[in-house]
A and B are shown apart, each in its own frame.
Chain A
C-alpha cells in the first residue's frame, strides 16, 4: 500500500520504555527520525536495540511511553503501523519448505496486495536482489545470504514507507555482507524509503547510515551523522598499551595537549591533534616517570573510537561472537 507523502517524521518516540520485571531493557527513548534517512541504532548486545525495534513494529508493547511510526500511534493504531512498514527480523522468518515465490505470494495476500500487482512487484524485487532464477526453489536450498535477500525483497513487497532491519547481516561471511550492503543501499535509493536498522557492526553503521544513534544499557547516548560523531573526536587517536595504566593517566593528564583520554583494560586512548609530533613527548614523559610503555599507535578516528568515547566501552568481539552462536543455533534448528 503506497501512502501519500506527508510532512512529519518517519518515527518519533516519546519516553518509550520497556521493563522486564526489574530490568529496564529500554529507558525513556526519545528519537526523531526523518523520512529518507538510513538510521542506525548502534550498540552492543542487550543494549535495547531489538527491544526498541520490536516495539516500533508493534510486536511488543511498551511498559510506558509511546511512539509514532508514519504518524500512527504504535499502541492505538497498531494495524495502520503494520501496513505501512516492512520488517526483516534478526532471526530468519521465512518458511523453508515453501519456494521463494510462494513466500512472496503469502506475504502479498497477508498485506492485501492484488495478485496482478503482487506478481509484477515480486518479479521486480526478485530481479533486484538477484534471485529471479531461484524463485521456484524451496528455501531450504538457499544459502544464508540468499535467504536474507529474499527477506529483504519480501519486506519491500507491500511498498512500505519505513523498512526495519534488525541486524541485517548477522552471521554472514564478509563477502556476502558486502553484497547485502550493496543491495540495501540500492533498495533504499530506488524505493526512496526510510530505513531503520540495528547493528553492532561499526563498519555496517559507517557504510550504510546517514544517521547513527549510539545506544548502550537501554539508553540512547548520542544521535548524529557518522561524520559528526567521528568529528567529535578532535585530531587523531593515540593508543598506548602499558602495564600501569592508572599511573600513566596521572602523568599524561599533566600534559595539556590532548582532548580526551580513556582507559579500557590497560589500553589508553588519547585524542590528540597533530599526533605525530606529540607521541615523542608522551613517551618521554612516561619514561621520565619510570613507566614502561609496551606499544604506541596512531590512527585516524573511526566510528569505533566515537562509540568508545560516548559509551566509555567497546563492543567487544566476543559480544558479536556470542550473538552469532545464538543465531547459528536458531539457523541450525531450521534444518
Chain B
C-alpha cells in the first residue's frame, strides 16, 4: 500500500511538471499536425495498395509517432533529474527501485498520453470519425505503447552521461523506429528487408493496433491477439530491464 502511494507521488510529480510547461504541450502538437495536414495533404493523390485516403491512413501512424517522440524523450529526461540532483533525493529514499521506475514510466507515459488524446479529436480534420468503441480500444493500446517507450528512453538515459547524445538517439533510435513502423506506408507492400525490420519494431505493432482500433478494417501484419501479446511482452520486458538497470549501484 505504501509503495503504491510512493508510485503515485512520483507519478504526480511528473504530471505536475508536464502541466506547468504548457508551451511544450502546444509545441509538441505542431509536428504531428504538419505531418497530418501538410505531408498527408500533399501525398493525397498518391496511390498506395490498400489505401483509400492517405491522410486517414497515416493518422494512427502520426498518433504512434507522437507517442514515440514524447515517451522516449520524457524517459531520457531522467538525465536532467540526475544532473540536477533530484534523482538523488529519490534514490536515497526508502523506496524500491521498481516503484521509482514504474512511477516515472507512468508519469511520463501520462504526459505522452495527454498529447495523444489532444490529437484524437483532430482526426476530424482529416475526415475520420472515431466510434466510441475506437476510443475504448485506443486507450489501452496507447498506454501500453507509451509506458514501453518511456522505458526505452530510461534505458538509453542509463547508458548516457549527458545530453550530448541527443542527435545520436534521434538518428539511431527514434527515426529508424518511426520509419520502420509502417506509420507512413502500408508494410504489406514494403520491400522484404523493411518488412523484417518491422517485425523487430514494437512500434510497428503499436501502429498496426492503433490503425486497427481506429477503423477496424485494415489488415494487420500478424493476428491482432498476437500483436497485443507482443506489445504487452515488450512493455513488461522494458519495465523489468529498467528496474534491473536502476537497481545496480554505480
Contact = CB atoms under 8 A, between A and B. Distances in A.
Contact of B16 (A87, A89, A102): A102
Contacts of B91: 59
Nearest to A1: B94
Q: Which of B8, B13, B21 has the largest count of A CB atoms less than 10 A from its CB? A: B13
Interface in A273-332: 330
Interface in A63-103: 79, 82-83, 87, 89, 91-98, 102
A146 to B, nearest CB: 16
Contact of A110 (B6, B20, B86): B6
A257 interface: no
A107 B89 CA distance: 8
A110 B94 contact: yes
Nearest to B249: A61
Interface string B1-41: 01001101110110011001100000000000000000000
B16 A109 contact: no
A93 B95 contact: no
Nearest to B18: A97
Interface string B63-92: 000000000000000000001111011111
A89 B88 contact: yes
A109 B5 contact: yes
B90 A110 contact: yes
A106 B84 contact: no
B92 A87 contact: yes
B9 A93 contact: no
A100 to B, nearest CB: 13
Given A138-B20, A330-B84, A112 B249 contact: no
B17 A95 contact: yes
A111 B93 contact: yes
A57 B89 CA distance: 11
A2 B113 CA distance: 41
B204 to A, nearest CB: 35
A83 B94 contact: yes
A23 interface: no
Contact of A60 (B9, B94, B249): B249
Contacts of B12: 106
Contact of A59 (B9, B83, B92, B95): B92
Contact of A93 (B8, B10, B17, B86): B86
B249 A89 contact: no
Contacts of A58: 92
B93 A107 contact: yes
Contacts of B2: 112
Band of interface residues on B: 20 to 34
A330 B91 CA distance: 19
Nearest to A140: B20
Contacts of B8: 109
B85 A330 contact: yes
A334 to B, nearest CB: 5
A98 B84 contact: no
Contacts of A102: 13, 16
A333 interface: yes
Contacts of A138: 20
A59 B85 contact: no
Contacts of A109: 5-6, 8-9
A73 to B, nearest CB: 15
A166 to B, nearest CB: 10
A308 B9 CA distance: 48
B84 A92 contact: yes
Contact of A97 (B16, B94, B249): B16
A110 B93 contact: yes
Q: Which of A57, A95, A138, A333 has the largest number of chain B CB atoms within 10 A?
A: A95
B151 to A, nearest CB: 21
B240 to A, nearest CB: 21
A82 B13 contact: no
Contacts of A59: 88, 91-92, 249
Nearest to A138: B20
A95 B86 contact: yes
B85 A89 contact: yes
B16 A98 contact: yes
A89 B88 CA distance: 8
B17 A97 contact: yes
Contacts of A334: 84
Contacts of B83: 330, 333
Contact of A82 (B6, B21, B85, B94): B94
Contacts of A107: 89, 93
Nearest to A94: B86
A167 B70 CA distance: 37
11 contacts: A59-B249, A89-B88, A95-B17, A95-B86, A98-B13, A106-B12, A107-B93, A110-B9, A110-B90, A110-B94, A330-B84
Interface of B: 2, 5-6, 8-10, 12-13, 16-17, 20-21, 83-86, 88-95, 249-250
Interface of A: 57-61, 79, 82-83, 87, 89, 91-98, 102, 105-107, 109-112, 138, 330, 333-334
Closest 5 A/B residue pairs (Cβ): A93-B85, A110-B93, A109-B9, A91-B85, A93-B89
Given A59-B91, A109-B9, 5 more contacts: A93-B84, A96-B84, A109-B6, A112-B94, A138-B20
